[in-house]
Amino acid sequence: MTVETPPSGTPSMAGSGRRLDSSAIDAAWLSALTDLTSELRSCGLEARMDGAIGAVDAIAYGPARRIQRAVLRPHRGRLWWWLRWSNDPTTTAPHAAPLTPAGETADAARRIVRVLGPRRGR
């Protein structure tokens, strides 16, 4: 995983008016978590929010229960949704990939729904 820092001279990591270095982070995180949870539920998935770690678990039921975790983390100086991948047989530990900026919850939910869609070839 690559972690990027803001350019030199930038006093804090900020994006779209949301500051990540003050008490406003709690409000920004809570808003993003709540918005993604609502979006996922509107798509017909069960969704659980964990404010302590900044994560939302999307749960799909079918022949087997599948869970996809999205976590809030800084990326390129802004707060982003990251997908946690743990079922990849080519890695021994979970890894994450950037998904969308935190404010783009509809896009994040749409992509998570696709990830949890019916598995092909099984």
Confidence of residue 89 (pLDDT cuts 50, 70, 90): low
The mean pLDDT of the chain is 77
Q: Which residues pair with 73 in a beta bridge?
A: 80
Question: Two tokens at 7?
Answer: 């350019």
pLDDT band for 92, please (50, 70, 90 cuts).
low
Q: Is the pLDDT reported for residue 49 higher than 60?
A: yes
Higher per-residue confidence, 57 vs 62: 57
More confident position, 85 or 72? 72
Query: Do residues 48 and 57 make contact, with C-beta atoms less than 8 angstroms apart?
Result: yes
CA distances from 82 to 10, 15, 28, 36, 58 (A): 23, 16, 16, 12, 13
Q: How far apart are CA 112 and CA 100, in angstroms?
A: 11
